[in-house]
Amino acid sequence: PTDIKADMLAKYPPKVARKRASQILVNEALGNETPEISANVRTIPGIITMRGCTYAGCKGVILGPTRDIVNITHGPIGCGFYSWMTRRNQTDASAEGAENFMPYCFSTDMQDQDIIFGGEKKLQAAIQEAYDLFHPKAIAIFATCPVGLIGDDIHAVARKMKAKFGDCNVFAFSCEGYKGVSQSAGHHIANNKIFSEVVGENDAEKPGEFKINLLGEYNIGGDGFEIDRILKKCGITNISTFSGNSTYDQFASAHKADLSAVMCHRSINYVADMLETKFGIPWIKVNFIGAKSTAKSLRKIAEYFGDPGLTARVEEVIAEEMPAVEAVIDDVLPRTKGKTAMLFVGGSRAHHYQDLFAEMGMKTLAAGYEFAHRDDYEGRQVIPGLKVDADSRNIEEIEVKADEQRYAPRKTSEEMAKLEAAGLKFKEYDGLIPDMDHQTLVIDDLNQYEAEKLVEIIKPDVFCAGIKEKFSIQKLGIPMKQLHSYDSGGPYAGFQGAVNFYHEIDRLVNSKVWSYMKAPWQENPELSATYVWE
């Protein structure tokens, strides 16, 4: 692996090589020692990164899956158009009277004259038009790069319209694409605003004995539906998912839950903290990717509530669901065992999906995140030592205190101590590095050049990443699986999802089609050209 790292850096100019070297790590995690990686830093100009922008993280990722908020992109039409239904986040709007604005693309469609003379009037008119047409519960406004550059005061417009309507919450996000080094800043901007503007708005009591919030689950390919099916079967009530298959009202009621279960640590761990600080709701890390991980997560939730009836029910559900999963494992394992994978995805899946591959006897040789922070790699214990740089300072921090009326610790400190002593870990995430084998590669913000180089050197049996990587990898003759949109497949979460994934990967890694494939220039030499510089 050390040679592979050197090989990947060989072509870079010295300064670039030095910087990339700190983001490429040969895993030597041993015992309590986790090596340090450089993460959440700017991509070097000129490099073709896999990352997206802050607006994408705010509007597309966090608010995108909420069906009854009208999301207006304030900016040139391209930003709205590209974030229009590209993420496969599903929603269930089948209930009587349910509102669903997700199929729409709302934008102010800024033109040159709006950039020159300002776009606030146009934004105000767009909000009014959306209100008149749909009378939604809430309207959200998202700033794109030019809005920040010309200084439109979107928050003032939002306040004015909210006051004018009286029956519609209007709020705005300063999530200009350049605000942070990646999507991650957009998550933070989105979540802070949802926390301060929406969470706690609805104090109505919620029925249910064991009430949780599922944080950081976005219902891609129907994952959230499968998790909800399992939770329901166990008798666990999901008050709100942030933000898969969600509604405005679910966010407004999140403070009524008694536990937060965190799936994607990167996009939402701070909301889990804020829910605890303000309302007294503890949080644990869960992972519903992988059948064993699903069982483990359910047991963790049951352990927290400490109710013998719930514990028994959870065991029943696991016992009911596992035989179907094991039957498929027994079938595929002889064909998948010993195969290898590489995973380069966002800020949590490059970690979570390793559990699914492990269940199939497959080894992850290299993995990394596009935009996760050091705590997602090394574990939460590094948070106090993280440097606050110019980019992180760009994101507004909100101050959260215990709510005077509504703060109520869900467990006494003795009960919490007892659970901890029994092994239930609160507010904890160990990160990706300690879970990976010795001498594997961990790479942050992998780029186009390095992806191709890695594949050329290691030739994994499957490469997992996103749409921008898909075709360049396939052209190298390697099966490629998208772990963002799942291509057209999914769900992959929970028990039934695991079965879907085993079948899909078995099909991919055992297909002969890739070895028969020839690139166009190999097939038709006349298509290959030599560029002559004159």
Which are the catalytic amino acids?
A: 53, 56, 87, 187
**Shortest reach from residue 105's CB to ligand HCA, in Å:** 15
Contacted by 468, from ligand HCA, ligand CFM, none: CB < 5 to 8 Å by type: ligand HCA
Residue 411's φ and ψ, nearest 5 degrees, are -135, 150
Q: Report the alpha-carbon distance of residue 179 to residue 332 in Å, rounded.
A: 45
Residues 472-491 binding ligand CFM (CB under 6 A) are 484
- How many residues touch ligand HCA (CB under 6 A)? 14
What does the buried/exposed string (b/e) look like for 348-361 if buried means 16 or more CB atoms within 10 Å of the residue's CB? bbbbbbbbbbbbbe
Q: Report the alpha-carbon distance of residue 191 to residue 186 in Å, rounded.
A: 8
Residues 6 or more apart whose CB falls under 8 angstroms from that of 42 comprise 181, 391
The most distant pair of C-alpha atoms in the chain lies apart, rounded to whole Å, by: 80
Assigned token pair, 231? 């939770």
Considering the rule CB under 6 A, would residue 367 count as an interface residue with ligand CFM?
no
Q: Which stretch binds ligand CFM (CB under 6 A): 232-240, 330-338, 344-352, 377-385?
A: 344-352
Among 174, 267, 336, 500, binds ligand CFM (CB under 6 A): 267
Contacted by 467, from ligand CFM, ligand HCA, none: CB < 5 to 8 Å by type: ligand HCA
Considering the rule CB under 6 A, would residue 51 count as an interface residue with ligand CFM?
no
Report the residue number, 248 or 288, with the smaller CB distance to ligand CFM.
288
Considering the rule CB under 6 A, would residue 468 count as an interface residue with ligand HCA?
yes
Sheet harboring 210-217: ordered strands across? 236-243, 210-217, 259-262, 283-285
Q: Report the alpha-carbon distance of residue 206 to residue 275 in Å, rounded.
A: 17
**Shortest reach from residue 51's CB to ligand HCA, in Å:** 8
Contacted by 218, from ligand CFM, ligand HCA, none: CB < 5 to 8 Å by type: ligand CFM
Considering the rule CB under 6 A, would residue 350 count as an interface residue with ligand HCA?
no
Q: Report the alpha-carbon distance of residue 454 to residue 264 in Å, rounded.
A: 26
Contacted by 154, from ligand HCA, ligand CFM, none: CB < 5 to 8 Å by type: none
**Shortest reach from residue 202's CB to ligand HCA, in Å:** 29
Burial grade of 29 (CB within 10 A; 0-12, 13-18, 19 or more): buried
Among 467, 510, 511, 527, binds ligand HCA (CB under 6 A): 467
What does the buried/exposed string (b/e) look like for 480-518 if buried means 16 or more CB atoms within 10 Å of the residue's CB? bbbbbbbeebbbbbbbbbbbbbbebbbebbeeeeeeeee
Task: Lay out the site mask for ligand CFM across 159-188 (x = CB under 6 A, - = otherwise).
Answer: ------------------------x-----
How many other CB atoms are found less than 10 A from the CB of residue 41?
Answer: 17
Considering the rule CB under 6 A, would residue 156 count as an interface residue with ligand HCA?
no
User: DSSP secondary-structure letter at 256?
Assistant: G
Report the residue number, 304 or 486, with the smaller CB distance to ligand CFM.
486
Cβ distance 440 to 27 under 8 Å? yes
- Report the interface residues with ligand HCA, using CB under 6 A: 52, 56, 60-61, 86-87, 183, 346, 466-468, 482, 484-485
Q: Which residues bind ligand CFM (CB under 6 A)?
A: 57, 61, 183, 216, 218, 220, 264, 266-267, 345-349, 484
